[in-house]
Amino acid sequence: MLDKRSTAVLQVLLQAATFISVQELMKQFQVSRRTIYYDIEKINDWLCQQELEFVQYTYGKGFFLNDQAKDQVAKQFSHVMPSAYLSVEDRQIYVALMCILRGGKIGTQQLMDETEVSRNTVLQDIKDLKNKWAKKGISLTYSYKDGYEVKGSESDIRNLLYIHITELLSQHQEELLKRVMKADYEYSLIYNWLVECEDKLGMAFTDKMLTQLAYMLTCCIQRIGGKRYVDALITRKEELEKTRQYKALQEIESVLGFDFPPHEKHYLATVLLSAKVNVVNQADSDDWMRTIVKEMVSRFQAYACVVFEDRNRLEQNLYIHLKTAYYRLLYNIHLPNPMLSAIQTKYQDIVELTKKALLPLENSLQTRINEDEISYFALHFGGWMKKQEGRQKQKRIVIVCANGIGTSRMLQYQLEQLLTDAELIGPMTVRDYEQFKETYDLVITTTPLKKRMNVMLVNPILTDDEKQRLIDLVEPASSQLTTQAIMGIIKQHANIQDEPALLANLKLVIQQSKKMVREDKKPMLHEVLQEPFLQLTDSADDWKSAVRLAAKPLLNYEYIEPSYVEAMIKSVEQLGPYIVIAPKVALPHARPEQGVNRVGMSMLRLKEPVYFSTEKQHGAQLIIVLAATDNETHLKALSQLSMMLSENDNIDKLIAMNTKQEMLALIEAYSN
């Protein structure tokens, strides 16, 4: 029988548009070469049992399944339930869902039978769950008569359900979810109802959210059937009762054959309202939300020192996201982001700037925005950092993403940087792709597809291996010739120990050098704000004089042209004091094409403030000039500057300092 990892390996082979090397599989699954061969052997044993064609291997290229074999395997593979081998995390989620959904009827022996592990392992899982849940105010009790039972706020328990459902689906463990729920009929009814009522709701759910939502509603209905009702008071009930979502619940009551208690109907309406969507009804426009979105975009542009080329489209996408995020934040419905860790690691600078941009939303809701929601907003901002470029493209590539607008845009952004000679179509949903009739060369997707011709399955945030595979598939012949030419020269002058690895690295470097800004090329704060670029003086005649004085080191070292200084001044004259980004701090900047030669930064400290308007709050004593060459290279330094200025008293400390060495020590502390 296939275990979890071998099932995942087979899934990769099914979605691959080309050969998959042993090295790629080793890196993707973090296992040894021997383990990969063992998994392939296990897969081939299973294929033999199903009377299907084996996984093939070609020396120097890797493993593959031909298209006919893929179709045959997929039909059988859809019935495979990959639960024989479970990670500790997945097994504990399974145990947790059994206790929540079958509460009062589950004992230790049944958990052992279902998970196929020992009594000690089950008891350790229970102990771990108790410790995790105690932090959320949820307890797990046991009695000989009733078995295990989950106790606590019903709203908190349902949030836990939402988290676990999302985790299993993100790990492609839907079969495990079906097994623990034992509610295929109810799930199918609810899923079909959600599809049918999208038009009535005036929205289109994302592909993944449609599945998540159907499972969540099914679980909620199971809890309601067991008389486990929400206990939290739902605010703004009159507002909820006017929504299409609340009214649509009458239909599902009719389909299921029973009525929801009034407070449950309010709760289920909030679940529907908080579900991520791709499209909203334009007639349901909320002016206050659009105002907040405009403020958020303006703040991000000011803090990141960028100008979005298609601001209207960004604002519309953010508005669509906010329409549902608003209800999640208002009613404390937690929507986990499976990519949270990757986003925070790879796009830390954008996340930090996003936190500042979201302040108007936090003030409006009077609540702190959690890390998962911040990361969703960061996907929108990060995905819009690169402006579209018109050029003749060589290959047509369809992008399919089931995760939502922000994630789709981030994937598109990465592909635009990596595949500069391709025409990218989309992003589109799985349902849109199934109706897509145009010709294309390749499909890049974040979710498995029924059609597998010329399909490559990738992570929403591309790994280095995925980037290399894409380059191999898409890069034009001229680039191939370039890498081969360089390789030929290297062979003449050096002994090569690993030729395939060197060739792969050359391809990646050459392709990325065309367009992509590498993370390791983004300078840190102490690298751009060095001693020659710091100035300490008592006063300036006015804000224009202060800007000119602050920019002088950058001008002297030819980082900028005189035209850039005048452009900064003109920008304030036209747009107002938007560059005052914090009390006592101004960040003058202009567009890269207005006279920037190199990325750089300079700081002027004044003891007496200059004012960028007649308002007292627009006074500044720290004038920090930024010279950016594009929308990205400066972001790491800028996010570190932002963190430094956000810490209590640092602004006043900088103003009070009398030497550049003191300033440099503080700057160094935030440069990591």
Portions of the chain given CATH number 1.10.10.10: 4-77
Q: What is the pLDDT of residue 478?
A: 43
pTM for the full model?
0.68
Portions of the chain given CATH number 1.10.1790.10: 285-383
Residue type, 292: I
Q: How far apart are CA 192 and CA 418, in angstroms?
A: 38
Closest to 379 in 3D by CA, of 345, 418, 350, 352: 350
Q: 302 by DSSP, 3-state: which?
A: helix
Q: What is the pLDDT of residue 441?
A: 85
Q: Model confidence at 508, in pLDDT bands (50, 70, 90)?
A: low
Q: What is the pLDDT of residue 515?
A: 43
Q: What is the pLDDT of residue 438?
A: 79
Q: What is the pLDDT of residue 387?
A: 46
Strands (E) across 98-177 are located at 139-143, 147-151
Portions of the chain given CATH number 3.40.930.10: 525-669
State the maximum Cα–Cα separation within the chain, in Å, rounded to a whole number.
Answer: 86
- Record: fold of 285-383: PTS-regulatory domain, PRD (1.10.1790)
Q: 409 by DSSP, 3-state: which?
A: helix
Q: What is the pLDDT of residue 518?
A: 41
Which are the contacts of 430, defined by CB distance < 8 A and separation ≥ 6? 207, 400, 402, 445, 447, 449
Q: Using alpha carbons only, give the angle 319, 193, 237 rounded to the nearest 5 degrees.
A: 55
Residue 288 backbone zone (phi > 0: left; psi -120 to 50: alpha; other: beta): alpha
Q: How far apart are CA 463 and CA 410, in angstroms?
A: 14
Q: How far apart are CA 256 and CA 333, in angstroms?
A: 24
Residue 197 has pLDDT above 90, yes or no: no
Q: How far apart are CA 652 and CA 621, in angstroms?
A: 9
Closest to 573 in 3D by CA, of 550, 542, 599, 616: 542
Report the run of H or E that residue 623 belongs to, with start and end: strand 619-627
Are 422 and 439 contacting, i.e. CB atoms less than 8 angstroms apart? Answer: no
Q: What CATH number should be reported for the domain whose range is 525-669?
A: 3.40.930.10
Q: What is the DSSP letter of 531?
A: G
Residue 296 has pLDDT above 60, yes or no: yes
Q: Give the sheet arrangement for strand 455-457, strand by strand.
A: 422-428, 395-400, 442-445, 455-457
More confident residue, 9 or 568: 568
What tokens were used for 398? Answer: 């369809």
DSSP string, 179-202: HHH--HHHHHHHHHHHHHHHHHHT
Residue type, 649: D
Average pLDDT of every residue of the chain: 83
Residue 497 has pLDDT above 90, yes or no: no
The dihedral over CA atoms of 51, 53, 55, 60, expressed in degrees to the nearest 10, equals 150
Q: How far apart are CA 325 and CA 360, in angstroms?
A: 14
Are 336 and 372 contacting, i.e. CB atoms less than 8 angstroms apart? Answer: yes
Q: How far apart are CA 101 and CA 216, in angstroms?
A: 12
Q: Model confidence at 520, in pLDDT bands (50, 70, 90)?
A: very low
Q: What is the pLDDT of residue 284?
A: 60
Give the number of other CB atoms < 10 A from CB of residue 270. Answer: 23
138-142, 162-166, 336-340, 476-480: lowest mean pLDDT where? 476-480
Condensed to tens digits (0 to 9), the pLDDT of residues 555-577 reads 999 999 999 999 999 999 998 89
More confident residue, 322 or 472: 322
Handedness of CA 449, 334, 248, 315 (dihedral sign): negative
Q: How far apart are CA 42 and CA 445, in angstroms?
A: 26
Q: Model confidence at 17, in pLDDT bands (50, 70, 90)?
A: low
Please list the active-site residues. 589
Q: How far apart are CA 439 and CA 441, in angstroms?
A: 7
Residue 547 has pLDDT above 60, yes or no: yes
Average pLDDT over residues 289-296: 93
Q: What CATH number should be reported for the domain whose range is 4-77?
A: 1.10.10.10
Are 272 and 201 contacting, i.e. CB atoms less than 8 angstroms apart? Answer: yes
Residue 592 has pLDDT above 60, yes or no: yes
